[in-house]
Amino acid sequence: MVEQKKVVIIGGGISGLTAAYYLQKDKREKQLPLDIKLYEASGHLGGKIETVKRDGFTIERGPDSFLERKKSAGRLAREVGLEDQMVPNGTGQAYILVKEKLHKMPSGSFMGVPTRIRPFLFSSLFSPAGKARAAMDLVKSKKQIEHDQSLGLFFRRRLGNQVVENLIEPLLSGIYAGDIDELSLQSTFPNFYDLEQEYGSLIKGLRKTVSKPPKNKPKPSMFRTFENGLSSLVEAVEEQLSPGVVQVNTGVDHIERKGDTYHLLLSDGTADKADAVIIAAPYFAAQRMLSQYEFMNKLKEMKATSVANVAMAFDAAAISKDIDGTGFVVSRNSKFRITACTWTHKKWPHSTPEGKVMLRCYVGKPDDQEVVNLTDEEITEIALHDLSQIMDINTQPDFSVVTRWHDSMPQYAVGHKDRLQEVTDHLERELPGIYLAGGSYRGIGLPDCIDQGEVAVEQVLKQLKL
């Protein structure tokens, strides 16, 4: 009889679910002798993906979409039968709030770096001196940095402080909820460094490499979700897993190597054994499970910031001064406490009933972490107060949904890639068959997490010689 190999996946967020899905797919298609188990500490799958339905609204508590350009999320969605439910985002005007005023995002900018000169020249976001400084990117010599540098340092050197503070920083903080002067270029946008090295200029490099949208055609939509929200993906993947694979309300507290087998101590006091383990849980959970290994302390050097958001539902009539756009991000030099706002009814019209409006505001700057612990009412009040400075909202929301995500945004600080490499090298040598996957490690976007789940499956199958 062929010996069964047991693979345990720890964490039922999108990374762990992807791993379970592709493992099971390989098991079915190649008749592999695999026994698969996924342990999830909380009572439900999805991790940061959580959609709620209320009064006809589809509300996301965590991520609201995925980048279509990165192929793995769309591929997974199609595999689990969600192709017909995929919805592109509405592509209205996006804004940046700088010093209490909304400015249009200059068209043709890619993560804040201009690819077209005219919209940038006419943008109200920058002074003539700021624009002249940004144009220096075209002539400024490149700088080779052997390892890593902060996003802030890199972009300030290329484009100057003003473009960084009024455009790049608010956009990047919207993704990483971190300090641009601490975040690693190598672990977030390594291609910008490559562009600098290859073309000597980010603007020139992007103009050469980014395809121009056809003239007089509407802006292409870059993001996708599903008619019934992102939780559809979680549910559809779960449906594909065989009964008994998933066990919720069961955390893995400790992992011990005994010969070629791993013994796992579970939060319900029982134990399990595995030939290979995919840890698809955040870095601090991974460190705790393997706390007897000193090399895992490297992960303790990581930090994660906390964020919260409030989705507020209104009657359309309650907004007497509306703005034509899909939302805005806030620059640090503004007095606003919210960091961004999505006009969800415009970005995702399918999510809001006719005649209604849904505004979703985010709080939790790196230097304003205490806001996350305020009450629901206080967070809603902060959002309404900030919004009232740019829109006329004449009533309280019909209802609001506040979500707090503690230690949810892993910070890829300068040197992250090297630190992670050190940990994975040790794992390979000392704990072969244990792999890390997920938002804490090699990319926080949903497609990045899906990629990591897929890669972990390949590594496991190779390790088990299957």
Residues 216-255 that bind ligand FAD (CB under 6 A): 251-252
| Min CB(31)–ligand FAD separation in Å | 28
| Min CB(387)–ligand FAD separation in Å | 19
Which value, to the nearest 10 degrees, does the dihedral of the CA atoms of residues 448, 332, 304, 445 take?
A: -10
Is the distance from CB of 323 to CB of 95 less than 8 angstroms?
yes
Q: With contacts defined by CB under 6 A, how many residues of the chain interact with ligand FAD? A: 36
- CA quadruple 162, 166, 167, 170: dihedral sign: positive
Can residue 77 be called a binding residue for ligand FAD (CB under 6 A)? Answer: no
Q: Could you tell me where the DSSP H helices lie in 50-150?
A: 71-79, 117-121, 128-135
Helix (H) or strand (E) holding 392: strand 392-393
Distance CA 306, CA 88 (A): 28
Helix (H) or strand (E) holding 278: strand 276-279
What residues contact 425, with CB distance under 8 A and at least 6 apart? none
Listed ranges 126-134, 157-165, 326-334, 402-410: which one lies at the site for ligand FAD (CB under 6 A): 402-410
Can residue 90 be called a binding residue for ligand FAD (CB under 6 A)? Answer: no
| Min CB(147)–ligand FAD separation in Å | 25
- The correct pick among 42, 85, 107, 369 for binding ligand FAD (CB under 6 A) is 42
Which value, to the nearest 10 degrees, does the dihedral of the CA atoms of residues 99, 102, 103, 104 take?
A: 160
- The correct pick among 11, 74, 114, 160 for binding ligand FAD (CB under 6 A) is 11
Written as six digits, the tokens of 346 are: 């415009």
Can residue 49 be called a binding residue for ligand FAD (CB under 6 A)? Answer: yes
Distance CA 8, CA 278 (A): 6
Question: Which CB, 15 or 201, lies closer to ligand FAD?
Answer: 15
| Min CB(342)–ligand FAD separation in Å | 9
Question: Which CB, 64 or 454, lies closer to ligand FAD?
Answer: 64
Q: Could you tell me where the DSSP H helices lie in 393-445?
A: 416-430
Residues 127-166 that bind ligand FAD (CB under 6 A): none
Can residue 88 be called a binding residue for ligand FAD (CB under 6 A)? Answer: no
Question: Which CB, 318 or 431, lies closer to ligand FAD?
Answer: 431
| Min CB(401)–ligand FAD separation in Å | 12
Question: Which CB, 286 or 414, lies closer to ligand FAD?
Answer: 286
Is the distance from CB of 189 to CB of 443 less than 8 angstroms?
no
Can residue 76 be called a binding residue for ligand FAD (CB under 6 A)? Answer: no
- The correct pick among 8, 12, 170, 358 for binding ligand FAD (CB under 6 A) is 12
Can residue 14 be called a binding residue for ligand FAD (CB under 6 A)? Answer: yes
Terminal Cα distance for the chain, rounded: 15
Helix (H) or strand (E) holding 344: helix 344-347
DSSP letter string, 141-180: PP---SS--BHHHHHHHHH-HHHIIIIIHHHHHHHH-S-T
Question: Which CB, 135 or 409, lies closer to ligand FAD?
Answer: 409
Contacts with ligand FAD, 267-286, as mask; x by CB under 6 A: -------------xxx--x-
Contacts with ligand FAD, 284-323, as mask; x by CB under 6 A: -x---------------------x-x--------------
Written as six digits, the tokens of 381 are: 């009040």
Can residue 408 be called a binding residue for ligand FAD (CB under 6 A)? Answer: yes
DSSP letter string, 439-462: TTTS--SHHHHHHHHHHHHHHHHH
Q: Letter for the amino acid at 97?
A: L
Residues 425-464 that bind ligand FAD (CB under 6 A): 438-439, 444-446, 449
Residues 346-385 that bind ligand FAD (CB under 6 A): none
Can residue 264 be called a binding residue for ligand FAD (CB under 6 A)? Answer: no
Given the rule CB under 6 A, which residues bind ligand FAD?
10-16, 39-42, 47-49, 62-66, 251-252, 280-282, 285, 307, 309, 405, 408-409, 438-439, 444-446, 449
